[in-house]
Amino acid sequence: MFKKELGIIGTGNIGLSLLKGIINSKIIEKQKIIIYDIKKDILNQCSNQFNVEIAQDNTDLAHKSKYILIAVKPQVINTVLEEIGSVVDEQQIIISIAAGIPLKYLSTFFKKDVGLSRVMTNIPALIGCGASAISNNGKIQEENLNFVKKIFNAVGIVVELDERHLDAVTGLSGSGPAYIFLVIEALADGGVKMGLSRDVSLQLAAQTVLGAAKLVIKTGKHPALLKDMVATPGGTTIDALHMLEIGNIRSILIDAVETATIKSRKLGSKE
């Protein structure tokens, strides 16, 4: 048996948000979690904040943990995998959130037939509003897969997909927050142009986007139906929507998702 239920390698923004979500939701008790990060100051701060044990190194963490969550950037994941590859066995589950790194590539670092889960999450996980998609290599039992889902449900919503769809997830929800930040900024600029203060414009723009998103989720209605609830005949909104259509906003956003998806596929094909 393993001393720890979960080991987290990497305590940056996403790793930290997952740790916080896990502890707050009480999925795992603090004493059953161990963490490691090459940046000692961040590691110590994280340990002090959440009262969890620090591993001596990645190998030590891998020896002790049943579930190993690798929350490092794609550029450095090879180093981590090389360190833990010979330590992990069939009883353990590896969870990777490194964008663009396919399961087939991950498997080449392990000598044993290890259960692998690849997750594409996004930055709103920092505030518990993440959107995550999970795929696995088919060597994870249902109860273990459900446990992995619980981890990411602690910081938002989770969908399970075939790995071939994860590049599209990267283009949509992975990169998507950046598109929406741009929309919020542009709306705020419009308010400033029309005489509102910057602070008020930004507050109203952000809340408007938040409220619109919640309406889609809470009501389950198609966005087109909700749009029609706002756009009254001959009113201000329909004129504004006309301008957005002239500017091809639909096509631009569709192209953005497509472009990011294609780039993700190219990055993955290099591995």
| Domain residue limits, the chain | 4-161, 174-269
What digits encode the pLDDT tens for the residues 246-262?
Answer: 999 999 999 999 999 99
Alpha carbon 226 to its chain centroid, in Å, reads 27
Determine the pLDDT at residue 270: 57
Which CATH number applies to 4-161? 3.40.50.720
pTM of the model: 0.90
Asked if residue 92 has pLDDT above 60, the reply is: yes
Alpha carbon 197 to its chain centroid, in Å, reads 33
Nearest CA among 225, 228, 226 for reference residue 238: 228
Q: What is the mean pLDDT of residues 191-212?
A: 98
Determine the pLDDT at residue 71: 95
CA distance 232 to 157: 33
Would you place residue 268 in the very low, low, confident or very high pLDDT band (cuts 50, 70, 90)? confident
Q: What is the mean pLDDT of residues 215-224?
A: 97
Which CATH number applies to 174-269? 1.10.3730.10
CA distance 110 to 94: 10
